[in-house]
Structure 1
Amino acid sequence: MNYLEKLLKGVEIEWKTLGDEDFAEIANSGRRPVKASERISGNIPYYGANNIQDYVDGFTHDGTYVLIAEDGTASIENYSIQWATGKFWANNHVHVLRGIGPLNSRFLHHYLRSVNFIPFLSGGDRAKLTKGKLVEIPIPIPPPSVQKKIVRILDAFTELTAELTAELTARKKQYNYYREQLYCFDKNVVQHLPMGDESIGVFQRGKRFVKDDITSNGVPCIHYGEMYTHYGTWADKTKSFISEELVKRKNLRIAEKGEVVIVAAGETIVDIGIGTAWLGNEGVVIHDACFSYKSQLNPKFVAYFTHTKQFHDQIKKHISSGKISSINAKGLGKVLIPIPSLEEQERIVSILDKFDTLTASISEGLPKEIELRKKQYEYYRNMLLTFPIG
């Protein structure tokens, strides 16, 4: 705050609204939605409420603009604000505007990311920011020199975050490539067996419980929906618990240490089949939309295998589709898995563990670094953009 006070010492802050045409231009008239089936492929970004949805031929705008979601923002609390430069196509789910005169567009972009949009929204479940409400949003107008200094500071943080994000994307591609390569074995050299072959493994389906059964303590449990959002390739503690009394009364299924929990149902076929090696010291209750897989193989070796294209290409033909897609133990059991020596399994797991930490860990690696930089940006943005009113 000392820096902000020095920056603003003797400076008057004007407050205007986005509807003031001397300070902001709303360029919504050029927007045009186009169905995906009717878009002509090209290299011009096609913007929706939250991100670039496609690349098309042609454009609706050319210049430097701030895009504000009109409806369909992914988060009401963290409202969607995008930055677009050069030629781009805007559909009707974003407001298109820019600063004019003394209002720096980049300053406007940073400031809008700090605004609480909730009081300006209408429409219930699908919150909408109408143009009538957009023009009421107040905007501070410090001197252009002050705006430039603030932009320079905040851009430094966003550029660093962008660099880290690009690095993470590159490492994920590298990770996916090596994971596929590490599971490619010559079938004449390394034996491949069906996962359901009793000589290597056994599947056991979980038993049904509902989200209302979940508590904050008790016996560790994994609900199938958490497999997509919370668990990676291995875990030794759970997000959820269930009462011991319910476990006994319903005779719920428990996966023991060293077993792999595999999800067997999901809204799309992409969701199905991912596995998490359970390494906790006590057993974990599993939902009936999951299987536990007990085998003589390294559990992490199996879990990483369930994330490969090789695995998913094999299970596709065994998935039954409907409102919810699913697979049974018979279908999973037909998947051929390579069986190298235990030493080779450990070597592969060791390599993939390093990649997994780098690309997925929220306590280590690039995701943690990106999250820290985002928080740092938010801290300084809020500090630098909190102006006195009146």
Structure 2
Amino acid sequence: MSRIDDLIAELCPEGVEHRGLGDFGEFVRGNGLQKSDLRDSGFGAIHYGQVHTIYGVWASETRSFVTEELARKLRKARTGDLVIATTSEDDAAVAKAVAWVGEGEVAVSGDAYIYRHSLEPKYVAYFFQSEQFQSQKTRHITGTKVRRISGDSLAKIRIPAPPLAVQREIVTVLDTFTKLEAELEAELEAELEARRRQYKYYRDALLTFGERTDADASKQASKHKTNDDG
């Protein structure tokens, strides 16, 4: 943290200003992409549902694609843009965001916004996970069963905006923690899987008994009768 503190002291000695996200860019709604349109190859695409389920803070490759023909009709995120899922049944998941840091453009579905901005992409994506962002967005969420937030509302949310050098240093630190968390999760999952196999082995071993035949039963009964006669 001392490196970040030093940069803040040097580059913004009067403190870090907070401004609305709309001051740094614009929110463009995705369009026309349905889940049924997704393919295993073609033009890269991000469906808003995938932002909730398979993407983390940032992505350099897409998991799904669309045909080149469909891609020509769709709005696209450029390198550095955020893709924001704007609907959910859960308030906590509304406005979950992934920074697109891959090469070229990717098609984006409706129920998602593209945030095209001048900030450090990962910095903004990490901010979207912060308590500071969550507490601000709550007052802008609307809807009953399906909860949503508009681009105009997102533009009003204030973000701390230190110089880019500070933003990048913060990203370096947070990326380190994210990588460590992923490694720990993988280790824990491997350990859990080993425990599952161990449990299955002992469960089956403890609950498996050799099946006794009628001949075995007769032999055992005869043995008991002989012992009783003795």
With the length of structure 1 as denominator, give the TM-score of the two structures.
0.48
2:78 equivalent to 1:235: no
**Hey, what's the Cα distance between the residues in 2 that align with 1:262 and 1:327?**
10
Can you list the C-alpha shifts for 1:285-330, whole angstroms capped at 9, x where unaligned? 1111111112111100000000011112112222112221111110
SS of 2:144's partner is: coil
SS of 1:208's partner is: coil
Select the residue among 100, 103, 128 that pairs with 1:278. 100
Counterpart residue type for residue 227 of structure 1: V
2:12 equivalent to 1:193: no
Superposition deviation, residue 381 in structure 1: 2.9
Higher share of residues assigned helix: 2
SS of 1:215's partner is: coil
Counterpart residue type for residue 195 of structure 1: L
- Number of residues of Structure 1 aligned to a counterpart in Structure 2: 197
Superposition deviation, residue 278 in structure 1: 0.6
Superposition deviation, residue 382 in structure 1: 3.1
**Hey, what's the Cα distance between the residues in 2 that align with 1:279 and 1:304?**
14
With the length of structure 2 as denominator, give the TM-score of the two structures.
0.80
Greater radius of gyration (CA): 2
Percent sequence identity is 35
1:1-390 alignment runs, 5 A limit: 189-197=15-23, 200-248=24-72, 251-359=73-181, 361=182, 365-387=183-205, 389-390=210-211
SS of 1:220's partner is: strand
Give the match for residue 33 of structure 1: none
Superposition deviation, residue 337 in structure 1: 1.0
**Hey, what's the Cα distance between the residues in 2 that align with 1:228 and 1:358?**
21
Give the match for residue 216 of structure 2: none
Superposition deviation, residue 274 in structure 1: 1.8
Can you list the C-alpha shifts for 1:362-390, whole angstroms capped at 9, x where unaligned? xxx11000111112122333334434552
Can you list the C-alpha shifts for 1:337-363, whole angstroms capped at 9, x where unaligned? 11101111011111111111122x2xx
Superposition deviation, residue 231 in structure 1: 1.0
Moved over 4 A (4+): none
Superposition deviation, residue 263 in structure 1: 1.3
SS of 1:386's partner is: helix
**Hey, what's the Cα distance between the residues in 1 that align with 2:32 and 2:136?**
27
**Hey, what's the Cα distance between the residues in 2 that align with 1:288 and 1:372?**
37
Superposition deviation, residue 258 in structure 1: 0.9
Verify the 8 A CA contact 1:273 1:312 in the aligned structure 2. Answer: no
**Hey, what's the Cα distance between the residues in 2 that align with 1:254 and 1:334?**
23
SS of 2:22's partner is: coil
Q: Whose RCO is larger (CA < 8 A, sep 6+)?
A: 2
Structure 2: 5+ residue stretches without partners: 1-11, 212-230
SS of 1:207's partner is: coil
SS of 1:354's partner is: helix
Superposition deviation, residue 332 in structure 1: 0.3
Give the match for residue 161 of structure 1: none
Verify the 8 A CA contact 1:233 1:304 in the aligned structure 2. Answer: yes
Counterpart residue type for residue 105 of structure 2: G
RMSD of equivalent CA atoms: 1.8
**Hey, what's the Cα distance between the residues in 1 that align with 2:203 and 2:151?**
57
Structure 1: 5+ residue stretches without partners: 1-185
**Hey, what's the Cα distance between the residues in 2 that align with 1:322 and 1:221?**
29
Higher share of residues assigned strand: 1
Counterpart residue type for residue 380 of structure 1: Q
Counterpart residue type for residue 36 of structure 2: D
**Hey, what's the Cα distance between the residues in 2 that align with 1:227 and 1:377?**
31
Superposition deviation, residue 203 in structure 1: 1.3
